[in-house]
Amino acid sequence: MFDLQMDPERRQMILGSQIIVAALVAGCLFFLLIVVLIVPGKLGSWQLGPSKLMTLVSLVAAFGVLVARIVVPAAVTAQMLGRLARRGAEGPGWKDLFGVYQATLIVKVALLEGAIFFLLIAHMTERSPWTLALAVALLLMVLMHMPTPSRVDRWIERHSPGGERQQWGQ
């Protein structure tokens, strides 16, 4: 396990990632508040149908994003780790692996952020509780991606050469 108490540079790198995730959450939260508190209209019914086309499209898109959130970051991680593996005999350092972690994190939360905004726009137009509920659930998922020192260290250990899950040389 890496000791972040002793390395202020690592702490700063993790703090940078925390700021990125917090900024994405804040943007979504502010738009959610605008949609719910400022844009007039009552909450609609839970019924779905052809009259709620925007709601249906946004729900399908959001579930597509949930699938993409698994596939796309894994592909980005594999490609970046493969590039690091081809660099040379010496294994990548913590900073190299943190760069992969951060890129993967940004892809994951950006995908969710796009789906949240789409759901909130659909909610603004049709006032479906489905879109509001799913937007809030996805916002909570983004919050669950907040980097912590132990989470980052576990990810780096899993993706290091000789770690639990070897993805090197792909």
Query: In the chain, which residues have pLDDT < 70?
Result: 1-6, 44-46, 48-50, 88-89, 162-170
pLDDT at 51: 73
Number of domains in the chain: 1
pLDDT at 2: 45
The residue range of the domain holding 164 is: 51-170
Would 135 be classed as within a structural domain? Answer: yes
Question: CA separation (Å) from 9 to 17, 22, 105, 106?
Answer: 13, 20, 19, 20
User: What is the C-alpha to C-alpha distance for residues 136 and 119, in angstroms, rounded to an integer?
Assistant: 9
Would 164 be classed as within a structural domain? Answer: yes
The tens digit of pLDDT for each residue in 105-132 reads 999 999 999 999 999 999 998 989 999 9
pLDDT at 130: 92
The tens digit of pLDDT for each residue in 158-169 reads 888 765 444 333
Would 39 be classed as within a structural domain? Answer: no
The C-alpha angle with vertex 31 and arms to 26 and 35, in degrees rounded to 5, equals 150
pLDDT at 93: 82
Would 122 be classed as within a structural domain? Answer: yes
pLDDT at 87: 76
Would 128 be classed as within a structural domain? Answer: yes
| pTM for the structure as a whole | 0.83
pLDDT at 169: 37
User: What is the C-alpha to C-alpha distance for residues 47 and 10, in angstroms, rounded to an integer?
Assistant: 49
The C-alpha angle with vertex 149 and arms to 148 and 151, in degrees rounded to 5, equals 65
